[in-house]
């Protein structure tokens, strides 16, 4: 559905991140990052392993608590709001997890219907119709009685996307949507994301390290490197970037294995400088 | 959201005011099923002129209304779709499934100038 319901002021960004910090124990993963995603925009967060992109996604959907900074969703301060308000706001957010995260003991239809059964007062007949509408939107009409184990990797992803769409979210998050899929199936998922973007004008935030996919679906791209944003630009502009870390990522230049003998010795002997920057 | 009914000859017009979402659509469903199954009205016409937005669950209630109307051999039509409601029905490939009219007068005439097709 087009996301016609407005929960904040019309001009509020869908997501606003201000000086966001996240740390695990003593180790800081995100070092005070800032960005916004406008309503209806598709924002792709790129970054290599350890860049902090998955931590960022988990923080945006409320699975990690920031150690500092602010996170605004549709004009409301997500981090500091009471739990009941946060719960309501979460219902406007859909999440498609990396592995699909379908419940193996439930049929595809039951998986898609689950958020509606858990969080809405809808009658069973209404839920069944919504479930079939969502499966149709992801190209899985007629698969409601299949078990997840009977689906291919790409179909599992589609089913997970149908479940993420069940509550008509205003913001849809994707964690590595093409991971583990062959290029043709991955291209099909990209096409589906493009279709959802065009048809429903949902704000979409995708975390990925797949460059081809990112350039295809993004309105804007953010490149994360070791917990810092090193680029926040349109695909056209990032393509022309001369920033060394951006070029290294786009041109797939590997990191040197070790910085030097002294650093290597310090690492082996446990005298390395702390990872926190 | 408010929902009321009025009668015009053999047609029952359901006036809906406000957005139809998953939190209030059970009310719409209840009204439609009551008219069709209990009161066995001949033709239900849903006035959506004052509905700016309808979500998937809202669409599902209209789909169920249409399904039951076919079982009961009653008429079922919509009119006054906002741009967004029309878009939602197009995206769900339902615009051609429903009998859709621009105005109440056209809907009451029943089939003289459907605009959904």
DSSP notation for B72-86: TT-EEEEE---HHHH
B41: tokens are 């009205």
Q: Which chain A residues are Cβ-neighbours of B87 within 8 angstroms?
A: 2
pLDDT digits (tens, 9 = 90+) for A108-148: 999 999 999 998 889 999 999 999 999 998 889 899 999 99
Q: Which of residues 24-43 of B touch A (CB under 8 A)?
A: 25-26, 29
Smallest CA–CA distance, residue A104 to chain B, in Å, is: 26
Q: How confident is the model at residue A4 (pLDDT cuts 50, 70, 90)?
A: very low
Q: What is the DSSP letter of A275?
A: S
Domain extent listing, chain B? 2-109
β-strand B99-101 against B75-79: which pairing, if any?
parallel
How far apart are the C-alpha atoms of A137 and A125, rounded to whole Å?
19
β-strand B43-50 against A220-225: which pairing, if any?
unpaired
Smallest CA–CA distance, residue A181 to chain B, in Å, is: 27
Average pLDDT, chain A: 86
CATH number of B2-109: 3.30.750.24
For helices A124-137 and A108-119, what crossing angle results, to 10°?
130
% of chain A surpassing 70 pLDDT: 91
Considering only alpha carbons, which residue of chain B is nearest residue A195? B91
Q: Which residue has the tokens 């979402």?
A: B21
Please, where are the H alpha helices in chain B? 25-33, 56-71, 83-91, 104-109
How far apart are the C-alpha atoms of A107 and A146, rounded to whole Å?
5
Residues 6+ apart with CB under 8 A from A114: A103, A106, A163, A166
Q: Where is pLDDT greater, at A246 or B59?
A: B59
A242: tokens are 């001369």
How far apart are the C-alpha atoms of B26 and A164, rounded to whole Å?
22
A256: tokens are 């040197």
CB–CB contact B57 A168 (8 Å): yes
> Quick one: which of A64, A79, A32, A26 has its CA closest to A226?
A32
A232: helix, strand or coil: strand
Cβ–Cβ contact A134 with B under 8 A: yes
Residue-level pLDDT at A274: 54
Most confident of A259-273, B57-71, B86-100: B57-71
> Quick one: which of A12, A81, A78, A76 has its CA closest to A40?
A12
How many Cβ contacts (< 8 angstroms) between chains A and B? 68
CB–CB contact A2 B92 (8 Å): no
CB B18 within 8 A of CB B51: yes
């Amino acid at each position: 559905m087009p996301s016609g319901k407005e929960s904040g002021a019309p001009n509020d960004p869908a997501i606003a991140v201000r000086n966001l910090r996240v740390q695990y124990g003593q180790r800081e993963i995100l070092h005070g990052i800032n960005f916004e995603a406008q309503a209806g925009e598709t924002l792709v967060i790129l970054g290599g392993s350890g860049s902090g992109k998955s931590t960022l996604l988990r923080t945006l959907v409320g699975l990690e608590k920031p150690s500092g900074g602010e996170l605004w969703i549709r004009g409301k301060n997500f981090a500091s709001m009471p739990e009941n308000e946060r719960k309501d706001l979460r219902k406007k957010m859909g999440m498609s997890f990396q592995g699909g995260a379908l419940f193996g003991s439930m049929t595809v239809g039951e998986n898609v219907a689950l958020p509606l059964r858990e969080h809405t007062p809808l009658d069973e007949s209404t839920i069944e119709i919504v479930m079939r509408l969502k499966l149709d939107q992801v190209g899985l009409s007629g698969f409601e009685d299949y078990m997840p184990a009977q689906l291919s990797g790409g179909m599992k992803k589609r089913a997970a996307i149908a479940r993420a769409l069940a509550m008509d979210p205003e913001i849809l998050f994707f964690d590595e949507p093409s991971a583990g899929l062959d290029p043709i199936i991955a291209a099909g998922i990209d096409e589906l994301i493009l279709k959802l973007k065009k048809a429903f004008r949902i704000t979409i935030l995708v975390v990925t390290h797949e460059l081809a996919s990112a350039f295809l679906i993004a309105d804007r791209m953010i490149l994360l490197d070791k917990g810092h944003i090193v680029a926040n630009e349109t695909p056209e502009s990032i393509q022309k970037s001369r920033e060394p870390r951006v070029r290294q990522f786009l041109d797939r230049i590997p990191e040197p294995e070790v910085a030097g003998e002294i650093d290597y010795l310090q690492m082996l002997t446990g005298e390395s400088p702390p990872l926190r920057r | 959201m408010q929902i009321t009914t009025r009668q015009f000859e053999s047609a029952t017009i359901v006036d809906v005011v406000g957005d139809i979402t998953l939190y209030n659509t059970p009310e719409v469903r209840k009204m439609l099923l009551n008219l069709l199954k209990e009161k066995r009205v001949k033709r239900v016409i849903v006035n959506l002129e004052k509905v700016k937005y309808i979500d998937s669950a809202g669409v599902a209630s209209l789909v169920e209304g249409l399904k039951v109307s076919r079982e009961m051999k009653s008429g079922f039509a919509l009119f006054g779709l906002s741009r967004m409601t029309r878009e939602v029905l197009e995206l769900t490939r339902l615009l051609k499934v429903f009998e859709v009219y621009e105005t109440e007068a056209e809907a009451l005439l029943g089939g003289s100038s459907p605009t959904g097709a």
